[in-house]
Amino acid sequence: MFNDQFKLHIIVFIWGFTAILGVLIELDSFQLVFYRTLIAALSMGVFMKIKKWDTHLPKKDILKLLGTGGLVALHWILFFTSAKVSKVSVCLAGIATTALFTSFLEPIFNRTSIKPYEVILGLFVIVGLYIIFQFEFDHALGLSLSLGAAFVASTFSVLNGKFVKRISSLKITYYEMIGGAITSFILLPFLSTGETWLTIPSNQDIIYLLILSLVCTTAAYAVCVEIQKNLSAFQVNLTVNLEPIYGIILALIFFGEKEQMSSGFYFGAGIILLSVLSYPVLKKNYNRRSSNSKKLHEEALKS
């Protein structure tokens, strides 16, 4: 159990490094996402071939996953653009709202009621964002892009929640990486800001892209799937919510004064992060109380 928890923290730490790699890579966001998804799809294909895992799915499911992969590509394009036009810390503060966007979108998709604690946490997040905008209005574009990325991420997370009930996680990721590569490739000629619509990466960018694709995507995801066999969803979700914190700390280490923000930003970001970290705890307690109330009601009816 300890080894699995340690591995999970390492994975989340690696994911917190992705925004920094996005800034270090000189390619624009569209080309960056194209290369990332392409390399990830190819490496996952090879990995699954070596493991002799079946990749077959009905055409209808493949098309759905490819379309969802397009959303993944859009999420990463907005994410990396936010980090490039603003600061890594600003980008990650916005991305931290993904879990709370999901808490409101999931009931809409699944036709269930919104929980009271989700509304309260949502209000706290709005307060945190308001404080950040007040103190860091110069970074409004970067924060807006990261909020867009968070919203898109919450959308495909809800869709994946439906897929994972009948399709393996690795198959989902494999086809979504293919869909992401196809989507970003189609968008390149129209939206890429590079000198040509597809630039050959420099040697330095190739190294960063390989780290981003092979380490931060393929390897990290494969290990994450493996350790979820021994860890609860609560443990995983709580730890994954630490990603923005790790990312902001790493940004300060790598970029120093360039990443330093006002005290108002850290206060607002702290409110958001505290809300996000509180979410799985409150959800677990709410579900436990609901379950106990249901049992008491059933026992009362029997008596």
Identify the pLDDT of residue 208: 95
pLDDT in tens, 128-141: 888 888 877 788 89
> What's the predicted TM-score (pTM) here?
0.85
Domain spans, the chain? 2-302
* pLDDT of res. 299: 65
Q: Is the pLDDT of residue 267 over 80?
A: yes
Q: What is the mean pLDDT of residues 160-164?
A: 83
Mean pLDDT of 147-157: 91
- Tell me the mean pLDDT in the region 145-163: 89
* Mean pLDDT, residues 207-220 taken together: 91
Q: Are 167 and 57 in contact (CB under 8 A)?
A: yes
Please report, to the nearest 10 degrees, the dihedral formed by the alpha carbons of residues 125, 128, 132, 133 taken in order.
60
Residue 234: predicted pLDDT: 58
Is residue 300 predicted with pLDDT exceeding 70? Answer: no
Q: pLDDT tens-digit profile of 34-88? A: 999 999 999 999 988 888 888 899 999 999 999 999 999 999 999 999 999 988 9
Which residue in 114, 83, 111, 85 sits closest to 101, CA to CA?
A: 114
pLDDT of residue 233: 61
- Structure confidence at residue 23 (pLDDT): 92
Lowest mean pLDDT among 85-89, 195-199, 231-235, 264-268: 231-235
> How many CA atoms, within 13 angstroms, populate the side-chain half-sphere of residue 149?
25
User: Per-residue pLDDT for 237 more than 70?
Assistant: no
Do the Cβ atoms of 85 and 145 come closer than 8 Å? yes
For the chain, the residue count is 303
pLDDT averaged over the chain? Answer: 85
Tokens at residue 37, please?
């998804």
Confidence of residue 289 (pLDDT cuts 50, 70, 90): confident
> Which segment of 7-21, 145-159, 163-177, 229-243 scores lowest on mean pLDDT?
229-243
Given pLDDT bands bounded at 50, 70 and 90, which one contains residue 207? very high
Q: Are 30 and 187 in contact (CB under 8 A)?
A: yes
Separation between Cα atoms, residue 200 and residue 192, nearest integer Å? 13
Tokens of 189: 């000629």
User: In this model, does residue 98 exceed pLDDT 80?
Assistant: yes
Would the pLDDT of 225 be above 70?
no
Question: With 90 as the cut, is the pLDDT of residue 149 above it?
Answer: yes
245 compared with 146, residue with greater pLDDT: 146
